[in-house]
Amino acid sequence: MKINTALLLMASFALLRGCTALPPPPIRQLPATAPKPQTVQPRPAPAPATSATISKPVSAGWRDAPQTPGAWTYSAEPGGSAVRFGQPGAAPQLVIRCERERPAVLIQREGTGSDTMPAAITTSSGARRLSAAPAGGKTMSPNGPILFEMALAVSDSLLDAMAFSRGRFMVEMGGAPTLVLPAWAEIGRVIEDCR
């Protein structure tokens, strides 16, 4: 018996044509399960605040207070640099100065009085109470206000808090108006000049 080659080829094609790929396995639906409860890790208690740490803001509602009108200007100086806040043509309301010789960052403003007075700086991360002392040992001026200053170590964390405060920070000093100042890049520049 002779098998016809053509018939054999046609039968092979018919068998192949009838073969199809296996369907994909059905997707198994997982039963809904309740989410696992999250465990809360206890946080360590914060260190007690001291006069050298930043604590809660001194004045409530300072973020809603109107910003003091003016702008920051940067200038290089012999032995350091400074930024001054104020309005053009007027005396600055606040000066932040880098003095490399000490080394220190000085926060200076005019005020009235004859001795050290309380001051505070408030940032978005907290506040610190400070003392402002008459600059250069001058304790009185017959002609009006004198320059007071707060000296901070160049590594003081309050400087970083001022530079990176969210939009603004506040400076209070007895006998002088409260200043709500913008946290511009010039402040960080003076701090970095001293580091």
**Residue 120 predicted with pLDDT over 80:** yes
Q: What is the mean pLDDT of residues 64-89?
A: 92
Residue 189 neighbours by CB distance under 10 Å = 16
**For 87-115, how does the pLDDT look when each residue is reduced to its tens digit (9 = 90+)?**
999 999 999 999 988 889 999 998 887 78
What is the reported pTM?
Answer: 0.66
Residue 181 has pLDDT above 50, yes or no: yes
pLDDT at 145 over 70: yes
**Distances in whole angstroms, Cα of residue 188 to Cα of each of 21, 80, 152:** 69, 14, 14
180 contacts 68 by C-beta, under 8 angstroms? yes
CATH topology for the 75-194 domain:
Immunoglobulin-like (2.60.40)
Which range (28-32, 117-121, 146-150) has the least confidence? 28-32
- In one-letter notation, the amino acid at residue 106 is L
Contacts 24+ apart (CB under 8 A), 132-140: 132/173, 132/174, 135/106, 135/108, 139/114, 139/115, 140/114
Residue 58 has pLDDT above 80, yes or no: no
Supply the pLDDT for residue 65: 86
Separation CA 93–CA 87 (nearest Å): 8
Examine the pLDDT at 134 and tell me if it is beyond 80: yes
Confidence check: pLDDT of 4 > 90: no
